Structure 1
């Protein structure tokens, strides 16, 4: 089967499952996927993004720089946990990135912040995420750690609705529902509005066809 035919079949399938993009936009995203992953004769193109290639794409496309967050975004996109992001996972992930509902974004952000995947964001995970995203390399580590601990205490007090010392998804959902700014409380894991608009203008504005 030709590559073009494979791409068209993929668009057909995605048009049934991904509601945030029309058919032309899906074609553009698959075209971009092939471009970012590599040429069709390269082995990587047959499977998709590995971790390093995906981080390069996040940095170049959406300006992300936080290593811990980018690794977690990779895991959130990689739904079948095979250490590779295929075209379907790419489109489904980008759908949440660009046009996800608040409910979809809450589920995604919580998954990113739940570092060990146990269904809770612990104080230790909050500390690691906040330290990584907020601390300047030149700052005193001891002073930074104390400041981060204070911030963790404040965050737990604000978001821990059942007072068990950690944040469940229900806690997170309620807190974000009450105050949307808490969606990315532990680090930027979604593109900002400027990056989103630039991406859409560049990719969908090209009217790429397969």
Structure 2
């Protein structure tokens, strides 16, 4: 089924927010990223290291845990590679998603063991990797534990000691600033605008100077 989707990726996908021109530019970028040293397309997939390089160099992400989880949020199966369809639909949410789409995306990133909940342990692990230790802090882990309890008190609406998707979604819909409360997993708007502007520039170059 996924292979069929890849073959049709030259047509504008209905389940993404890109214009036909933006999509064509992203398809071209994907093909460039998957080329080997000889200039041939090695495989129609982005592997983990290639995708992490995109997240780091283009979208300025540095958290190893978050980058790996963003990869998992892009893929539709359990592979550690991203195909063309996943590249387009993942970037659609990443760059242009609605609040509801971004809520689903962030929850998937933060649900480290994919059991449908964000546990205290997962919150602690995510916050520990994303927070910068201050020189004056003697025991930063105690501060993180306190922060976890504050978040639980605010967002655990059914009081079961963990966050379900409904807890997370309802809390973020009331207070959108909570969307990335466990670590930055979406690019800043100015980064999105720059990236999409670069796509538009490439598209214009292709129109003016076709290969």
Give the TM-score normalised by the residue count of structure 1: 0.88
2:145 to 138, 143, 149: 149
Alpha-carbon distance between aligned partners in 2 of 1:165 and 1:181, rounded to the nearest angstrom: 21
CA contact 1:113–1:186 (8 Å) conserved in 2: yes
2:169 to 144, 151, 173: 173
| Partner SS for 1:177 | helix
2:158 to 153, 156, 162: 162
Runs of 4+ in structure 1 deviating by more than 6 angstroms, as ranges, are none
How well do the aligned residues superpose, as a CA RMSD in angstroms? 1.9
Which position in structure 1 is the counterpart of 2:10?
11
Which position in structure 2 is the counterpart of 1:24?
21
Return the offset for 1:131.
0.6
CA contact 1:55–1:70 (8 Å) conserved in 2: yes
Which one scores higher on RCO, CA 8 angstroms, separation ≥ 6? 1
Which position in structure 2 is the counterpart of 1:126?
123
| Partner SS for 2:184 | coil
Question: Number of paired residues?
Answer: 199
Return the offset for 1:48.
1.1
Q: Which has the higher helix share?
A: 1
2:86 to 85, 89, 93: 89
Structure 1 residue 62 corresponds to structure 2 residue 59: yes
Return the offset for 1:10.
1.9
Return the offset for 1:79.
1.1
Which position in structure 1 is the counterpart of 2:3?
none
Give the TM-score normalised by the residue count of structure 2: 0.88
CA contact 1:47–1:84 (8 Å) conserved in 2: no
Return the offset for 1:136.
2.7
Map of 1:61-80 to 2, 5 A cutoff?
61-80=58-77
CA contact 2:16–2:88 (8 Å) conserved in 1: no
Alpha-carbon distance between aligned partners in 2 of 1:41 and 1:180, rounded to the nearest angstrom: 44
Which position in structure 2 is the counterpart of 1:3?
none
1:99 to 71, 89, 96: 96
| Partner SS for 2:46 | coil
Q: Structure 2: which 5+ runs fail to align?
A: 1-5
CA contact 2:75–2:86 (8 Å) conserved in 1: yes
Which position in structure 2 is the counterpart of 1:41?
40
Which position in structure 1 is the counterpart of 2:184?
188
CA contact 1:131–1:148 (8 Å) conserved in 2: yes
Return the offset for 1:96.
0.2
